[in-house]
Each structure stands twice: as structure tokens, then as C-alpha cells.
Structure 1
């Protein structure tokens, strides 16, 4: 009979830890941030902006991206720090299926009090 109560205690603890872990992202992000980026490589003519917009929307980020005249994709993104970090990793490592990422530059993230954009847009 002692094995049943001891089995139930870990599950209660796991439930408690799960709920605590679930709340960590909102308490550790510290609010909204904005960051500018520029991605180098084969990123034009390979649907990089479209895939960037999709990923940003999936992560609930707002902002914009555009092709530059020197062959890069530049943009700005706003959102919770955790989602921004996930997007930075995606921009550095994944991109669109036919892209080749040679480098990614990110400016220092700035704290913002509210969103400046309604969604994530492609600027043409």
C-alpha cells in the first residue's frame, strides 16, 4: 500500500513542475524587445522573405523584412525575447529550403513597451 502513495507523490510533483515550467517563459522574457537583422548568402530569389514571414507569424512576432540592393535580406522583428531568440536561430540556421545562409547580423535588442507593427510584413 505504501507504493501507491509514493507513486502518486511523484506525479503530483511532476504536475507541479510542469506548471512551473510552463510559466517560466513569460516570467523570464522580461517583456517585448525589438531587434534589427541582416542575413547574407543566397537569400534572394529563393523565397527567403516568404518563409521568414511564415516563421515570424508562427512565433507571434511582428515587424518586416525586405531584399536589399546589395543582395541581403534585412528586417526588424518585435516580440517576446524567447520567440526572438528562436527566430534568430532560425534565421542563422534554417531559412528557406533553397537558401544558403553565409552569415547573420543582429543589432542589440531594445526593450519596447508596445508593438510598432500589426503583423510581420514583406516590404517590396
Structure 2
């Protein structure tokens, strides 16, 4: 999955966070924002993704409610 498309989707939804490709061909990241938009991002990551991606599985972990955002912007990490 191209981090560029993921970054664009996160920004479109008004989320903050980061995303990166791993050496094993997976994508890792952290997303924060309103619960409804975070859920929409999870659906996008699970079912659509970037145009050239082949999604076989999506796993989300360490989910929690926060009082205020801990990150700013949405960035691609390398």
C-alpha cells in the first residue's frame, strides 16, 4: 500500500498520525481522531487502500480512547 494514498485519506478524514511501509511488505501506522473517522479509516485500510495495493489482512491493535490528540498532521515515515 502506498503511504502517499494512506496519508491523503487520513488528511481527508481530518485525522492525525503517521504511516510507513515495512521491509516485510506490510504497513504500520498510528491514527488519532474522532472515533467515527478512525473507524472509516480502518474500513478504507481493510477494503480499499491505495490503487496498487493487495490487501490480504488488516490487524488493528492498541486501540484506546484519548482525551486529546497526541500527534499533529499526518505524515509518511521512512
**TM-score under structure 1 length normalisation:** 0.60
2:55 corresponds, among 101, 105, 114, to 101
Larger radius of gyration: 1
1:91 aligns with 2:45: yes
Unaligned runs of 5+ in 1: 1-42
Equivalent positions of 1:13-24 (< 5 A) are none
Return the structure number with greater relative CO, CA threshold 8 A, min gap 6: 2
Aligned length: 78
Q: Pick the structure with more strand per residue.
A: 1
**4+ residue segments displaced more than 3 Å:** none
Unaligned runs of 5+ in 2: none
